Amino acid sequence: MLHICGARRCGYTTKGCCKGCVMEGTHDGTVDDAMKTVLAIDREAILDEMMSSFKDPDQDDDTTSSLVKHRVLCLDGGGIRGIILIQLLIAIEDAAGIPIKECFDWISGTSTGALLALGIA
């Protein structure tokens, strides 16, 4: 996975590497065509759901409603998996055409997700 993101493979002296990071390895972590199709469909579904939840800026806010809605983004931790979160947030910004912080009322996170939330704020 890191190799896909541009990380260098481990050095020759490093022990215990897996096939995706060993220096003389050829596995580059690419997925087959069937998985690419599944990932594309999932990404479209997620983006469609996100876009449908955005507030229309021309719509008046009804402050008298007893059902106040809040848009919350919670980013889980996971160390290096934060790269995936960053890529997803970039895709959401591109699809929405506005900064990610304007898409949500509350942004929080744990561990790496908290650092990303601070960066967004």
pLDDT at 78: 78
pLDDT at 4: 54
Mean pLDDT of each 10-residue bin along the chain, 121 residues long? 62 78 71 77 82 66 62 84 85 88 89 89 81
Please say whether the beta carbons of 55 and 102 come within 8 A.
Answer: no
The C-alpha angle with vertex 15 and arms to 12 and 18, in degrees rounded to 5, equals 90
Q: Which two tokens stand for residue 111?
A: 């561990």
Which residues contact residue 107 at a Cβ distance below 8 angstroms, ignoring those fewer than 6 apart? 72, 73, 74, 75, 101, 117, 120, 121
Rounded Cα gap, residues 27 and 3, in angstroms: 9
